[in-house]
């Protein structure tokens, strides 16, 4: 695999940055930071994780089975996408503060931008983790399924104890990223979830 992304990948990375920040100077800066600062770091992290998983798979069968269900490693293009997500979040959080610390960060996010950022959080924080993270993130926090419903999709791979633990992590990540987002107990069991509203046609 080439160490440097191809031009087509760079174009896609810029379009992704511009989708998240429809302001040309901001999108360009995020693309540059993703390429020159974050891409190499994420590549190194992934290589270390792959080595650790290889070691686990070489363990005795009863231990190796614990590491059997993992997503495939991210491709070069996907690593660049993850890099854009990571850099974008730094700029997003700065934009959402009363006083900004990045002088050239002038874009003012709209309600639509915040919704896009919420969905991005669910994907960006789970895309390089075991697939149960993504299933719970999208199933429980974009749609309204319960963790038990997600476990029933693949009971051999999704274990209820793991689902409860991971669901707690997801809620903590959402609350930390969007501190003003209402999170409240919901019937019938009082499970804490993000308060949702019916989507308008454009959002759907």
End of a domain among 49, 79, 112? 112
The verdict on 6 and 103 lying in the same domain is: yes
Asked if residue 43 belongs to a domain, the reply is: yes
Dihedral angle computed from the Cα positions of residues 73, 78, 79 and 84, in that order, rounded to the nearest 10 degrees: -150
Among the candidates 83, 112, 141, a domain finishes at 112
Q: Please give the residue range of the domain that contains residue 186.
A: 130-194
Tell me, yes or no, whether 49 and 9 share the same domain: yes
> Is residue 125 domain-resident?
no
Q: What is the mean pLDDT of the chain?
A: 85
pLDDT in tens, 76-119: 888 898 899 999 999 999 999 888 999 889 899 998 899 999 99
Query: For 163-195, how does the pLDDT look when each residue is reduced to its tens digit (9 = 90+)?
Result: 999 999 999 999 999 998 888 887 777 778 888
- Asked whether residue 1 falls in the same domain as residue 86, the answer is yes
Based on the structure, what is the number of domains in the chain? 2
């Amino acid at each position: 695999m080439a160490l440097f992304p191809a031009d087509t990948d760079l174009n896609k990375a810029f379009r992704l940055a511009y989708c998240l920040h429809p302001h040309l100077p901001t999108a360009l800066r995020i693309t540059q930071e993703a390429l020159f600062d974050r891409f190499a770091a994420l590549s190194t992290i992934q290589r270390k994780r792959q080595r650790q998983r290889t070691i686990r798979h070489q363990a005795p069968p009863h231990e190796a089975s614990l590491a059997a269900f993992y997503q495939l490693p991210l491709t070069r293009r996907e690593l660049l996408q993850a890099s854009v997500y990571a850099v974008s979040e730094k700029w997003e959080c700065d934009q959402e503060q009363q006083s900004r610390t990045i002088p050239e960060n002038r874009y003012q996010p709209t309600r639509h931008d915040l919704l896009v950022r919420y969905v991005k959080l669910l994907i960006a924080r789970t895309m390089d983790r075991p697939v149960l993270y993504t299933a719970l993130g999208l199933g429980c926090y974009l749609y309204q399924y319960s963790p038990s419903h997600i476990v029933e999709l693949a009971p051999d791979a999704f274990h209820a104890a793991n689902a409860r633990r991971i669901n707690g992590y997801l809620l903590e990540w959402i609350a930390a990223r969007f501190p003003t987002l209402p999170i409240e107990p919901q019937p019938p069991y009082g499970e804490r979830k993000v308060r949702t509203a019916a989507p308008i046609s454009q959002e759907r």
